[in-house]
């Protein structure tokens, strides 16, 4: 397979693309994805889109706390989880509903989390996914550390760290990439550059023309990919995974766009024009992929409708379950602090229970 | 048994740890060939190799963040922060992640590790090399804070912490790194790092201290006892979080007189916490108000006047006298 | 001034003195080489730190010197002694081979006067008063103070009186005391006593009416154990005692003392009389110790001997009853039209109405009367 990292140097503004916004293949590279897998990828993108929309509705109806939408980033969300195995570590940012769900965290758990219910924090044991990270960028060193540990333990697995352009200004970005290169960590640093950190556009975030080129300063390879092109992403990430398996960390920049507000408490109209959003909507990942699959006769309109219908039903049913879930036990705030409790903490727990029963 | 110093005790404990636990990994700045700026890790890289005693790039946030990742994947990291004053770039990882992973993931992921920090004043060093911010660490839920006061406890406590399933901040009072020689067992042994140590039992006065101040307190005692040969009880606090109140309150109820000696800035400090809880739980037994002997609410000065900031022999003795003579 | 062997190169710990280039008594110039030292790196010349006289060398050729040890002493024109810091052990400071800071090193310090706890024996005792107790005593003293300008006389209150004052007040404030009065017929015990007092005297025991009454009291308590109990409101119960120990109030010239006959349920009338005798004697001669005035389960106050009739004796905490006994009287009664005379003892039974009610108290007194009529020596 052609080594796209070496043939697409971001320092000369080269961007790796395979599928253009009209669903036409513009790079004949063999992506190695079967038709069954292509259909599966499409379904995931639709389901993620449906889930995301539902969660926003729930928030508007008062059932959900603040929620950061992944609209426009469905290709990134699916591509990353596609190339990772269950035992590979995913170290997510906070805008990651799709990636975490596709990697094996139940949607219900994710919904519960955003409802502020920690019953949703009890994740399954059969997939390695860290919890979302709120302090921007502070999870990159974690991903470095895991990748380093995997190398020392001679494990097969690798680590993928997902973050956005805002994180690249934090010191943790610098520390993590620097350490990763020096200590040969099995880490893919996957930057979903969606154009914004809340209201701050990327050009205000860094003077660097691309984020990918920052990799070279650390002695690492970097590549910039069309982040709305799920095929290009999968190829690039597969290659990054190969390098990670060789104890070589990389930086993959996915150039995409955040179609939604920063979170449900944000109003993006204050800092961007409707015109811009309209333009970007034409480049969004799902419609181009749909066109491509139609051209391969994997999809037709009937199938598309069915898939969308099923996704809606599925999401509806899961959100009903989530809404019916009971609150966490009061004592849980004490029970998971340390391995063993201690006397003063027990007294405080008793006091809380007493107060609760007196109410 | 060998007569060794705190610095050797720590070195030996780390050596035993590295031998016993193949997942134990030391990381920090200059800990390899240099052996650390105090020579604490001297010889360990030569013995265990560069992959187990790792010289990292100069970044505390990088070190602490890497430790999170290492720990999550099953290593036991022992990150060293070169000085207490430099902990702050790594503090974000401590307060936002290291102390929270167990709670955040309901135990799915935990981050056991032993964060070693040379701590406290009294070595006539540069600015930022003499901090006593243990109250800040102790205030955070989700981490244990442990501090030895002599070579014996340094080794036993560190070996105990290396078996902990929770993250620990292990404060190493640098003033006494070399100042004390003591008989310490050569083999592996543990001292419970969640319990205060009663160094002497007595009935009439409870003296609580820890770290280098315990050493200073012991030095001040002979002069005090000449004038007031009383039956005192001396307690090494050891565990700053959680505090072993079982031992402390029992002692306070027994003697009714308590003096706490440490070098921190007094406002919102460990001594205040102890005083409040002792007063609350033992008020009927107190024969005098609880006395705190501490530093001052200022930045610790440079070497010319540093020793006047730290609890002096005079300050300690006056504090003890005040409680004895309370009418 | 003292010149210490410095770290002459990149963290060495020690060196070997090869030879002295000057001798004691020589005048030296600043920077003049005074000796040669061999380290594991090279042979190094040590320059004099001052211009002055070398008055003492501290090592001989061939010695191994540690960094920080005194090498030589000089006398200079200024002859200034370096300022000794009062608190810090500057003279033990060593420029260790660590990168920052000066650490005190045990190797170079004099043997630590670190405290030997093993062999320390305290010899000063401290007062046991808590802050509250101190404050209370202070308050009481201040409340009783009379202004110095008064022309009044004083009666000092001793400790016994102060303790009595405290305990009486506490007792009345913490219980619901009610007293039930009755005249109990004591003809039988008068008879018994007169018949046996001589033989008891031979055994050294003064047989008193009080002993008989106490015996009947004990028997009544055995019949009605709810009177020989403690009130435990927190756990909503009466704690029945597993022994009967009777406190006997004794008036002494120093004040009221209440020694206790322990395990009185095991004693005969004579045994009780003997105990009363002993305890009263010890009370009056001030020989009672603390255990002897503790541990009672019920109390008897006999003021009849000093001539009073009825009273409202105060409960002896934490007892539920106090049996007050007045002086015996001969009384005339009408019984179905016939005139009878009896000797009666006026009884004042104080009880704690938190635990016992009036009907029970009357029952107790009836039982007591029964036992007094049936008592055999």
Looking at the structure, tell me whether residues B207 and B100 fall in a common domain: no
Q: Does the structure show a pLDDT above 90 at C100? A: no
Contacts of B5 in chain C (CB under 8 A): 106
Give me the mean pLDDT over the B187-199 stretch. Answer: 97
The fraction of chain C above a pLDDT of 70, given in percent, is 87
| pLDDT values of chain A reduced to their tens digit, one per residue, 359 residues | 569 999 999 999 999 999 999 999 999 999 999 999 999 999 999 999 999 999 999 998 889 888 999 999 999 999 999 999 999 999 999 999 999 999 999 999 999 999 999 999 999 999 999 999 999 999 999 999 999 999 999 999 999 999 999 999 999 999 999 999 999 999 999 999 999 999 899 999 999 999 999 999 999 999 999 999 999 999 999 999 999 999 999 999 999 999 999 988 888 888 899 999 999 999 999 999 999 999 999 999 999 999 999 999 999 999 999 999 999 999 999 999 999 999 999 999 999 998 888 87
Could you tell me if B238 and B102 lie in one domain?
Answer: no
pLDDT exceeds cutoff 80 at C86: no
Tokens for A140, please give them: 């990159």
Q: How far apart are CA B132 and CA B119, in angstroms?
A: 7
Indicate the residue of C96, C113, C134 with minimum beta-carbon distance to B178.
C96
- On whether both B118 and B25 belong to a single domain, the answer is yes
Residue of B nearest to C83 (CA): B304
In the three-class reduction of DSSP (H, G, I as helix; E, B as strand; rest coil), residue B171 is classed as strand
Structural domain count of chain B: 2
Residue C250 has a pLDDT of 87
Asked if the peptide bond before residue B242 counts as cis, ω within 30 degrees of 0, the response is yes
pLDDT tens-digit map of B259-276: 999 999 999 999 999 999
Cis peptide before C318 (omega within 30 of 0): yes
Residue C84 has what pLDDT? 37
Q: What is the mean pLDDT of chain C?
A: 85
Reduced DSSP (H G I as helix, E B as strand, rest coil) percent helix, strand, coil of chain C, to 5:
30, 25, 45
Which domain-ending residue is among B151, B184, B217? B184
Is the Cβ pair A337, B141 closer than 8 Å? yes
Bridge-based pairing of strands C321-325 and C338-352 is antiparallel
pLDDT of res. C104: 83
- C-alpha span between A162 and A83 (Å, rounded): 13
Q: How confident is the model at residue C93 (pLDDT cuts 50, 70, 90)?
A: very low
Using the predicted structure, report yes or no on whether residue C80 has a pLDDT greater than 70. Answer: no
Q: What is the chain B residue with the closest CA to C96?
A: B38
Mean pLDDT on C68-78:
83
Of B154-158, C52-56, C76-80, C322-326, the least confident: C76-80
Q: Are residues B150 and B233 in the same domain?
A: no
Of A244, A142, A233, A135, residue with least CA distance to A193: A233
Clarify whether residues B150 and B68 are in a common domain: yes
Considering B184, B211, B226, which residue would you say is the last residue of a domain?
Answer: B184
CA–CA gap between residue A119 and residue A109 (Å, rounded): 7
Between these two residues, B85 and A39, which has the higher pLDDT value?
Answer: A39
Residue with the larger pLDDT of the pair C243 and C141: C243
Interface test with chain B among C96, C99, C103, by most B beta carbons within 10 Å? C103
Q: What is the pLDDT of residue C97?
A: 54
Same domain, B232 and B261: yes
> Which of B24, B48, B73 to mutate against chain A (most A CBs within 10 Å)?
B73
Task: Please provide the CATH number assigned to the domain covering A4-328.
Answer: 3.40.50.970
Task: Based on the fold, state whether residues B174 and B281 are members of the same structural domain.
Answer: no
* Torsion angles phi and psi, residue B319, rounded to 5: -60, -45
Residue B290 structural domain: 197-325
Is a pLDDT exceeding 60 seen at residue C113?
A: no
For the residues B287-299, what does the mean pLDDT come to? 94
Dihedral sign from CA coordinates of B96, B102, B108, B114: positive
Domain ranges of chain A: 4-328
Residue B192 domain-assigned (yes or no)? no
Residues B222, C112: C-beta atoms closer than 8 Å = no
pLDDT at A316: 96
Instruction: Specify the pLDDT at position C41.
Output: 58
Average predicted confidence (pLDDT) for chain B = 95
Structure tokens at C112: 């630590």
CA distances to A83, A172, A197, A269 from A194, in Å: 21, 19, 8, 16
Classify residue B281: in a domain, yes or no: yes
In a domain, B190, yes or no: no
B252 pLDDT exceeds 70? Answer: yes
pLDDT for the residue numbered C91: 41
C209 and C295 in contact (C-beta within 8 Å)? no
pLDDT range class, residue C99, cuts 50, 70, 90: low
pLDDT of residue C94: 44
Work out the average pLDDT over B136-141: 96
C102 pLDDT higher than 80: no
Chain A residues with CB within 8 Å of chain B CB: 89, 91, 118, 121-123, 125, 130-131, 135, 138-150, 152-153, 159, 171-172, 174-176, 178-179, 182-183, 332-333, 336-339, 342-345
The predicted structure's pLDDT at residue A321: 96
Note whether B6 and B73 are same-domain residues: yes
pLDDT at C152 over 80: no
CB atoms B312 and C87 under 8 Å:
yes
Asked whether residue B189 is assigned to any structural domain, the reply reads: no
Q: What is the mean pLDDT of residues C240-267?
A: 91
Confidence of residue B98 (pLDDT cuts 50, 70, 90): very high
Give me the residue from A152, A182, A332 closest to B57, CB to CB. A182
Q: Are residues B11 and B134 in the same domain?
A: yes
Report which of residues B134 and C43 the model is more confident about. Answer: B134
Residue C32's CB is within 10 A of a number of other CB atoms, namely: 16
Mutate to test the interface with B, among A149, A174, A177, A244 (most CBs of B within 10 A): A149
Place of tokens 């002979």: B222
Element housing B89 (H / E): helix B88-93
Please indicate, yes or no, whether residues B231 and B267 belong to a single structural domain of this protein.
yes
Whether residue B175 lies inside any domain: the answer is yes
Q: Tell me the pLDDT band of C252, cut-offs 50, 70 and 90.
A: confident
pLDDT for position C352: 96
- Asked, for residue B191, whether it belongs to a domain, the answer is no
Given this model, what pLDDT does residue C92 score?
42
CATH of the domain at B277: 3.40.50.920
Q: Are residues B203 and B295 both part of a single domain?
A: yes
B309 touching C (Cβ < 8 Å): no
Alpha-carbon distance values, B197 to A64, B191, B323, C8, C363 (Å): 50, 9, 22, 42, 60
- For residue A159, the model assigns a pLDDT of 98
Specify the CATH number for the domain of residue B140: 3.40.50.970
B208 with B313, same domain: the answer is yes
The reported pLDDT for the residue numbered C159 is 80
Q: Which residue of A has its CA nearest to B64?
A: A141
């Amino acid at each position: 397979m052609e080594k796209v990292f070496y043939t697409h140097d971001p320092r000369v503004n080269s961007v790796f693309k395979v599928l253009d916004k009209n669903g036409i293949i513009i790079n004949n590279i063999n992506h190695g994805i079967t038709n069954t897998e292509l259909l599966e990828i499409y379904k995931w993108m639709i389901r993620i889109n449906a889930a995301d929309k539902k969660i926003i509705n729930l928030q508007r109806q008062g059932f959900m706390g603040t929620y950061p939408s992944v609209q426009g980033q469905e290709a990134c969300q699916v591509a990353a989880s596609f190339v990772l195995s269950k035992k590979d570590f995913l170290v997510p940012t906070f805008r990651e509903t799709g990636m975490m769900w596709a990697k094996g965290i139940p949607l219900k758990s994710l919904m519960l989390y955003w409802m502020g219910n920690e019953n949703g924090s009890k994740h399954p044991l059969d997939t390695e996914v860290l919890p979302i990270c709120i302090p921007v960028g502070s999870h990159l060193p974690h991903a470095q550390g895991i990748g380093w540990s995997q190398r020392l333990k001679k494990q097969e697995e690798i680590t993928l760290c997902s973050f956005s352009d805002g994180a690249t200004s934090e010191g943790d970005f610098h520390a993590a990439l620097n350490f990763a290169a020096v200590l040969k960590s099995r880490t893919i640093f996957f930057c979903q550059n969606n154009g914004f950190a809340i209201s701050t556009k990327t050009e205000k975030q860094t003077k660097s023309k691309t984020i990918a080129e920052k990799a070279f300063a650390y002695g690492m390879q970097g590549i910039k990919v069309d982040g709305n092109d799920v095929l290009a992403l999968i190829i690039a990430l597969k290659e990054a995974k190969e390098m990670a398996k060789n104890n070589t960390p990389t930086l993959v920049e996915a150039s995409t766009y955040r179609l939604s507000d920063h979170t449900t408490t944000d109003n993006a109209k204050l800092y961007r024009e409707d015109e811009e959003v309209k333009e970007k909507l034409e480049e969004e990942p799902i419609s181009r992929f749909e066109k491509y699959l139609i051209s391969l006769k994997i999809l037709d309109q009937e199938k598309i409708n069915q898939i969308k219908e099923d996704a809606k039903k599925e999401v509806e049913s899961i959100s009903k379950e989530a809404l019916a879930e009971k609150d966490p036990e009061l004592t849980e705030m004490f029970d998971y602090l340390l391995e063993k409790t201690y006397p003063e903490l027990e007294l405080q727990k008793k006091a809380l229970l007493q107060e609760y029963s007196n109410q | 048994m060998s007569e060794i110093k705190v610095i050797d005790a720590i070195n030996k404990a780390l050596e035993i740890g590295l031998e016993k636990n193949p997942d134990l990994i030391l990381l920090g700045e200059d800990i390899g060939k240099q052996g650390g700026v105090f020579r604490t890790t001297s010889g360990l890289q030569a013995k265990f190799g560069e992959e187990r005693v790792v010289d990292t790039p100069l970044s505390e946030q990088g070190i602490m963040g890497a430790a999170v990742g290492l720990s999550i994947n099953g290593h036991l990291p022992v990150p060293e922060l070169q000085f207490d004053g430099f902990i702050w770039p790594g503090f974000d990882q401590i307060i936002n992640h290291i102390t929270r992973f167990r709670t955040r993931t309901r135990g799915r992921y935990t981050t056991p590790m032993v964060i070693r920090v040379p701590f406290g004043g009294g070595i006539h060093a540069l600015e930022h090399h003499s901090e006593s911010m243990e109250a800040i660490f102790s205030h955070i839920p989700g981490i244990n804070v442990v501090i030895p006061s002599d070579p014996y406890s340094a080794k036993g406590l560190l070996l105990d912490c290396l078996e902990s399933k929770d993250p620990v901040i292990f404060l190493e009072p640098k003033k006494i790194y070399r100042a004390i020689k003591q008989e310490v067992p050569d083999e592996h042994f543990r001292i419970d790092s969640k319990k205060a140590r009663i160094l002497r039992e007595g009935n009439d006065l409870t003296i609580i201290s820890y770290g280098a101040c315990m050493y200073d307190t012991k030095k001040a005692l002979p002069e005090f006892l000449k004038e007031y040969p009383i039956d005192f009880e001396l307690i090494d606090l050891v565990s700053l979080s959680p505090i072993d109140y079982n031992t402390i309150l029992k002692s306070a109820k027994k003697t009714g007189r308590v003096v706490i000696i440490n070098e921190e800035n007094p406002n919102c400090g460990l001594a205040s916490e102890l005083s409040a809880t002792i007063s609350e739980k033992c008020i009927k037994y107190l024969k005098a108000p609880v006395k705190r002997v501490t530093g001052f609410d200022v930045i610790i000065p440079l070497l010319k006047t540093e020793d006047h900031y730290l609890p002096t022999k005079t300050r300690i003795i006056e504090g003890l006298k005040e409680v004895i003579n309370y009418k | 001034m003292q010149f210490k062997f410095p770290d002459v190169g990149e963290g060495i710990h020690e060196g070997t003195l090869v030879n002295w280039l000057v001798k004691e008594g020589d005048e030296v110039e600043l920077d003049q080489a005074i000796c040669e030292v061999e380290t594991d790196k090279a042979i190094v010349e040590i320059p004099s730190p001052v211009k002055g006289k070398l008055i003492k060398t501290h090592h001989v050729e061939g010695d191994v010197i540690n960094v920080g040890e005194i090498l030589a002493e000089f006398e200079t024109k200024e002859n200034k002694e370096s300022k000794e810091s009062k608190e810090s052990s500057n003279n033990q400071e060593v420029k260790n081979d660590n990168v920052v800071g000066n650490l005190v090193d045990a190797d170079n310090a004099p043997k630590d006067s670190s405290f030997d706890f093993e062999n320390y024996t305290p010899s000063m005792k401290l007062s046991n008063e808590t802050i509250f107790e101190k404050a209370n005593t202070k308050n009481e003293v201040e409340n009783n103070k009379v202004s110095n300008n008064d022309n009044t006389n004083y009666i000092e209150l001793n400790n016994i009186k102060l303790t009595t004052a405290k305990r009486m007040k506490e007792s009345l404030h913490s219980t619901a005391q009610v007293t039930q009065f009755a005249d109990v017929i004591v003809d039988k015990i008068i008879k018994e006593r007169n018949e046996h007092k001589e033989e008891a005297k031979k055994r050294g025991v003064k047989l008193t009416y009080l002993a008989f009454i106490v015996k009947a009291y004990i028997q009544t308590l055995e019949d009605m154990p709810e009177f020989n109990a403690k009130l435990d409101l927190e756990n909503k119960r009466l704690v029945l005692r597993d022994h009967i120990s009777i406190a006997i109030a004794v008036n002494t010239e120093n004040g009221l003392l209440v020694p206790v006959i322990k395990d009185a349920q095991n004693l005969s009338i004579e045994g009780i009389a003997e105990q009363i005798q002993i305890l009263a004697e010890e009370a009056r001669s001030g020989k009672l110790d603390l255990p002897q005035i503790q541990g009672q389960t019920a109390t008897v106050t006999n003021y009849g001997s000093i001539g009073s009739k009825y009273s409202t004796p105060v409960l002896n905490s934490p007892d539920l009853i106090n049996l007050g006994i007045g002086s015996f009287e001969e009384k005339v009664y009408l019984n179905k039209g016939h005139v009878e005379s009896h000797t009666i003892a006026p009884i004042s039974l104080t009880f704690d109405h938190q635990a016992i009610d009036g009907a029970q108290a009357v029952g107790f007194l009836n039982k007591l009367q029964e036992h007094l009529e049936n008592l055999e020596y």
